[in-house]
Amino acid sequence: MKYIRQTYQDDHTVKTSDRRKPGKFPGGLLFILLVLVIPLLQCKQPYNSPYVSPTTGYLVVEGYISGNTPTSFMLSRTIKLSADTTNPQELGAIVEVEGNDNSVYPLTEQGGGVYSADTLPLNASTKYRVRIRTTIGGIYLSDFAQYKVIPLIDSVSWVAGADGVAIYVNTHDDGGNTRYYQWNYDETWEYHSAQESLYEYIPPSTVEYRPPQDEIYRCWRNRSSSNILIATSAKLSKDVIYLQKLNEIAENSEQISVLYSTLVRQYALTDSGYNYLSLMRGNTESLGTIFDPQPSQLTGNIHCLTNSNEPVIGYVSAGTVQQQRIFIRRSEISSWYYAFSCAQPDTVVSNQPDSLIKYFYTESFIPLEPGSSHILVGWYANQRYCVDCTVQGGTTIDPSFWPN
């Protein structure tokens, strides 16, 4: 007869037979199940982090020193886990790009924690870093970063599948000098409201033809990538990145209801920069199960000179940036279906002043067209969310790159 040895926390050892009686769990398996299940039945306890951050939070530095596109950095502060607000922006700072050739390029504050400058005259043989001075006297300095020249993007492609549209990027470096890549993207899409308003209300009691500049039927929305998108060819014989997925658009979503566009930007990283972002991705995008790697401390290349014990979140890299834009039309995907939801039937509003004021003055209803083709007895109208596309968060100003 075989035996299984099991040692418990009190160091007692017991022996159980490996024979199983019909319909019953063996003792060892039952014990393992109890060990796994009992913690799940206990009440959740609040997690108290051992790390104590200052009341102002730690500085977060996001950006890239670019030699062929505008250089931009976003400065913000960390918040407590219990907070339900967005990261506070770091305002009023002085931000400069410095080269090891003693060159200095100041960045201009744009508002919202963003500091930027137009294309800087950087030198590929020079290393660069960022110096930051905050309004409360903190001085932060990044390590000098090697200037890396990124190869062109070979293509940005998309594939329509059962779950939606996936967007991929392809690139390569014949010289094998890149190996570590990062991407981000800005997506823009056009969408339409459920109904088009041909007329607009003019207080106190007039309805007139709607001029083109007041159109509220066509809108555009923008969104930037938020995930960390990186890949490496370090373990491959050739420096090639093939079909790296960047984004997935859910089936029948608003993004491709009319016309969709995405602008992809490609960056080159050092191996240490790649490792930092890889660790950050693991910390921020894991599912949080007991089988996931536990969060690790992030050590970037930015340091606080006024307090050497203060952590700084971020990693500064430098080099060129490559970009490529694609468009996807709704007509290119035969199975795609999206409709601006509006179940409210039209309302006929009398052409009397009291009625016009009641329905249109607060803009809860918007006139669509005349209620009669012969004698004007009223106006067809509907609620604002059915007619005004800006209610969904978009703007009626079309982007400069949008096709006619």
What is the pTM assigned to this prediction? 0.81
Strand partners of residue 206: 202
Q: Distance between CA atoms of 363 and 376, rounded to whole angstroms?
A: 21
Q: Distance between CA atoms of 91 and 70, rounded to whole angstroms?
A: 20
Q: Which tokens in the block code for residue 290?
A: 């007991």
* Dihedral angle, C-alpha 102, 105, 109, 113, nearest 10 °: -60
Query: Quick one: which of 61, 183, 69, 184 has its CA closest to 114?
Result: 61
Write the CB contacts of 163 (distance below 8 Å, at least 6 apart in sequence): 248, 250, 251
Write the CB contacts of 173 (distance below 8 Å, at least 6 apart in sequence): 151, 179, 239
CB 207 within 8 Å of CB 379: yes
C-alpha distances (whole Å) from 74 to each of 87, 88, 93, 148, 320 are 11, 11, 11, 21, 19
Task: Give, for all 404 residues of the chain, the pLDDT tens digit.
Answer: 433 333 333 333 333 334 333 444 345 544 444 444 444 445 555 545 555 556 778 999 999 999 999 999 999 999 876 555 677 999 999 999 999 999 999 999 999 999 999 999 999 999 999 999 999 999 999 999 999 999 999 999 999 998 999 999 999 999 999 999 999 999 999 999 999 999 999 999 999 999 999 999 999 999 999 999 999 999 999 999 999 999 999 999 999 999 999 999 999 999 999 999 999 998 877 655 555 555 566 789 999 999 999 999 999 999 999 999 999 999 999 889 887 878 889 999 999 999 999 999 999 999 999 987 655 688 999 999 999 999 999 999 999 999 98
